[in-house]
Amino acid sequence: MVCLDTDILVGFLRNDKDALKKIEELNEKNEALAVSPVVVCELYKGAFRSTKENYINFIETHIDGLIILEINRMTCRLYGEHKEKLKHAPIGDFDLLIACTALAHNERVITRNLREFEKVEDLKVEKW
């Protein structure tokens, strides 16, 4: 299983050839696709901000095919730990929550945002 960051799903939504190719590769490898609840929030925020009405329907159609990982106590503990560790190299709260959700579930994150996610110790990150 892999944890998808918001950027690859937005790329998929926009028919970005690289995002489509990466998701196709993951599907060919029978990788289960998962997301943090934070990613779902970010997708809806973008959809409601967008002028394209079909984005909400698109999200609701495709989100059912993804596993939504739980933000559990371990996620919260990891968030607190890494927030303190990274106080001199800050990372956005949403990105850190996504990273800690993946860590708590022992999953790697698929993203283009390596600059932020690579700051999180022990997180496996893969660029798309």
Nearest CA-CA partner of 89 in 123, 108, 115: 115
High-pLDDT (> 90) share of the chain, %:
87
Confidence of residue 57 (pLDDT cuts 50, 70, 90): confident
Mean pLDDT throughout 85-95?
A: 95
DSSP structure string for 60-76: HHHHTTSEE----HHHH
Whether 18 and 11 have beta carbons less than 8 Å apart is answered as: yes
Model confidence, pTM: 0.93
**Residue 30: pLDDT over 80:** yes
Domains and their CATH numbers in the chain: 2-127 (3.40.50.1010)
Whether 104 and 74 have beta carbons less than 8 Å apart is answered as: yes
